Amino acid sequence: MSLLKAENIHKRYGKEEVLKGVSLELERGETMVVIGPSGTGKSTFLRCINQLTQPDKGRVWLDGVEVTHPKSSINKLRAQMGFVFQDFNLFSHLNTLRNVSIGLIKVKGMRKEDARKLAMKELERVGLDDKIDSYPAQLSGGQQQRVSIARALAMEPKLILFDEPTSALDPELIGEVLEVMINLAKDGMTMLVVTHEMGFARAVADEIVFMEHGVIVEQGSPQQMFSAPKHPRTGEFLNKITELYGETE
Amino acid sequence: MVFDLAWLPKLSQGLVLTLQITTACIAMGIVLGILLALGRVYGNRLISTPCSIYIQIFRGTPLLVQLLMVYYGLPSWGIYPSAFISGILALGLNTGAYQAEYLRGAIQAVNPGQLMAARAIGMTLPQAIRYIVLPQAFRIVIPSWSNELILMVKYSSIVFSITLLDLMGVGRRIAMRNFRYFEVFIVVALFYLALIFIISQLLRLLEQRVRIPGLGEQAEQR
């Protein structure tokens, strides 16, 4: 049984149908990278998975539990799905440690001391255990994004959804975030990543999904997608994106 | 001009009443303001519309009219509030409407992405509002809130019109007896001035104390 299953997800904003029936399955421990032009519904799709956006139609299962079921306890299920935002969305009024531990205390009901220990552990994992007293505004973009990854990790999620995690970063700060993500993938974290970083996709993706105009055009292993795409649009897009962003991490 | 030290004890008693009324109505206004602001921002139409109407009415009519309606109007419904209660009630209902609008603005100034991030780690909407949105909104609202507090200290002087002997009421009574209106009201004005100076300093201190480290500093560095 796959860890995550999305079936026929539809979402419409006014007249525009952003998602026109997207389905995919993600196995435990897999890293799946979603690519595609801007405005093709990649972010909307991620948000439909953890119900930050309510899909109009379609169903989502996490580890066999239907997330989209009207009677599902969505807050509990969301806590099992980490979400990393493009613009970090750290809690401005809390220091680094509290940003990571607040979910443990308020959502999981953990004791403050235990939450602190676990938060420290996750901050060490992203290399920021020396910044626990800093506030988000005192950190660089790359550091903020690493804190937000630690915040997601601390909840001990079954998978993490990444919504263009490096798109808001200065080029020289992208590497430190990708490094953390690559290590997560190697440690066996299940990840669904929307990104334009082809170097990352090539290095760790088990599967690449190409989305355009609200549908999945093609999906396959990085090798197949990069060297022998079946659909002409996939090839065009990959060429363009590699030109634009390069392949280095 | 002739001043008399004998005015001071009476005026001080008036000051105490002014402080009591202001404190009580501000406290009432905070509670009311929070509820109205939350209702307007997060409520569905059934909740947000009445909140809007309330705010419109209390901001759109004179405070004096509201005060007289409470004190002289409620008795016709069989409710007889004392002058003291009437003063607090009218001022509190009024400042609640204003505070709601300031707080609404502050809530909407908090980056909505943070609310989403809070939901994404599994917080319920009330939890996200309580632990993430409101602590930041309260910090943002302090400057406009301190304006409102200063206004309420001064507006509280209208309770003299319903027979209360607050700072203004006492001053008026003294002046009516000795006809030294100018001198007496200068002293009354100085009392208000001192009180407002202290309050605004305290609030500035509060603002500095709860300031979020690093926030707003980046612009200066560049």
Instruction: Give the gyration radius of chain B's Cα atoms.
Output: 21
Q: How far is CA B103 from CA A95, A158, B116, in A?
A: 24, 38, 20
Does the structure show a pLDDT above 60 at A92?
yes
Distance in angstroms (rounded) separating the CA atoms of residues A55 and B188 = 64
Pairing, β A4-13 against β A16-26 = antiparallel
Does the structure show a pLDDT above 80 at B218?
no
pLDDT at site A104: 97
Q: pLDDT exceeding 70 applies to what percent of chain A?
A: 98
Tokens of B10: 């009476």
pLDDT, mean of residues A195-220: 93
pLDDT, mean of residues A68-83: 94
Shortest Cα distance, chain B CAs vs residue A52, angstroms? 7
| Confidence tier at B1 by pLDDT (50, 70, 90) | confident
pLDDT, mean of residues A216-228: 92
Minimal Cβ distance to A78: which of B122, B132, B139 = B122
pLDDT at site B83: 94
Contact criterion met (CB < 8 Å) for B117 and A90? yes
Domain ranges, ordered by start, for chain B = 8-212
**Is residue B145 within 8 Å of B99, Cβ to Cβ?**
yes
Distance in angstroms (rounded) separating the CA atoms of residues A126 and B4 = 72
Contact criterion met (CB < 8 Å) for B119 and A134? no
Least confidently predicted of A4-8, A198-202, A208-212: A198-202
Does the structure show a pLDDT above 70 at B40?
yes
Chain CA centroid to CA B124, Å: 30
Q: Which residues in A have their CB inside 8 Å of a CB on B?
A: 50, 52, 75-76, 78-83, 85, 87, 89-93, 102-103, 106-107, 134-138, 148, 151-152, 155
List, in sequence order, every residue forming a beta bridge with A159; answer none if it has no partner: A81
Average pLDDT of chain B to the nearest whole number = 92
pLDDT at site B194: 95
pLDDT at site B204: 93
Does the structure show a pLDDT above 60 at A229?
yes
pLDDT at site B2: 78
Q: What is the largest CA-CA distance in chain B?
A: 69
Q: What is the pLDDT of residues B88-124, one digit of tens each?
A: 999 999 999 999 999 999 999 999 999 999 999 999 9
CA of B114: which chain A residue's CA is closest? A89
Domain at B8-212: CATH code: 1.10.3720.10
**Cβ-based contacts of A92 with chain B (< 8 Å):** 111, 114, 136, 212, 215
**Cβ-based contacts of B132 with chain A (< 8 Å):** 91
**Cβ-based contacts of A76 with chain B (< 8 Å):** 122
Residue A45, judged by CB atoms within 10 A of its CB (0-12, 13-18, 19+), counts as buried
What's at A155, amino acid-wise? M
Cβ pairs bridging A and B (under 8 Å): 80
- Cβ contacts of residue A12 below 8 Å, gap of 6+? A18, A56
Does the structure show a pLDDT above 50 at A11?
yes
Q: What is the ipTM of this complex?
A: 0.92
pLDDT at site A249: 42
pLDDT, mean of residues A185-196: 95
Contact criterion met (CB < 8 Å) for B114 and A91? yes
Does the structure show a pLDDT above 80 at A121?
yes
In the block, tokens 């996200």 appear at B128
Least confidently predicted of A111-115, B62-66, B136-140, B212-216: B212-216
| Confidence tier at B221 by pLDDT (50, 70, 90) | very low
Instruction: Give the gyration radius of chain A's Cα atoms.
Output: 18
pLDDT at site B142: 93
Distance in angstroms (rounded) separating the CA atoms of residues B160 and B71 = 12
Q: Which has the closest alpha carbon to B167: B178, B179, B156?
A: B156
pTM confidence score: 0.89
pLDDT, mean of residues A92-116: 96
Q: Which structural domains are found in chain A, ordered by start? A: 1-80+157-226 (3.40.50.300), 90-156 (no CATH)
pLDDT at site B80: 92
Instruction: Pick the residue of A73, A91, A145, A163 with the most B CBs within 10 A to test the interface with B by mutation.
Output: A91
Q: What is the pLDDT of residues A52-67, one digit of tens each?
A: 999 999 999 999 999 9
Pairing, β A207-212 against β A159-163 = unpaired
Q: What is the pLDDT of residues B132-189, one digit of tens each?
A: 999 999 999 999 999 999 999 999 999 999 989 998 999 999 989 989 889 889 999 9
At residue A237, the 3 state secondary structure works out as: helix
In the block, tokens 């000051």 appear at B15
Minimal Cβ distance to A137: which of B114, B139, B214 = B214
pLDDT, mean of residues A175-185: 94
Contact criterion met (CB < 8 Å) for B123 and A52? no
pLDDT at site A246: 64
SS (H, E, C) chain B: CCCCCCHHHHHHHHHHHHHHHHHHHHHHHHHHHHHHHHHHHHCCHHHHHHHHHHHHHHHHCCHHHHHHHHHHHHHHHCCCCCHHHHHHHHHHHHHHHHHHHHHHHHHHHCCHHHHHHHHHCCCCHHHHHHHHHHHHHHHHHHHHHHHHHHHHHHHHHHHHHHCCCCHHHHHHHHHHHHCCHHHHHHHHHHHHHHHHHHHHHHHHHHHHHCCCCCCCCHHHHC
pLDDT at site B19: 94
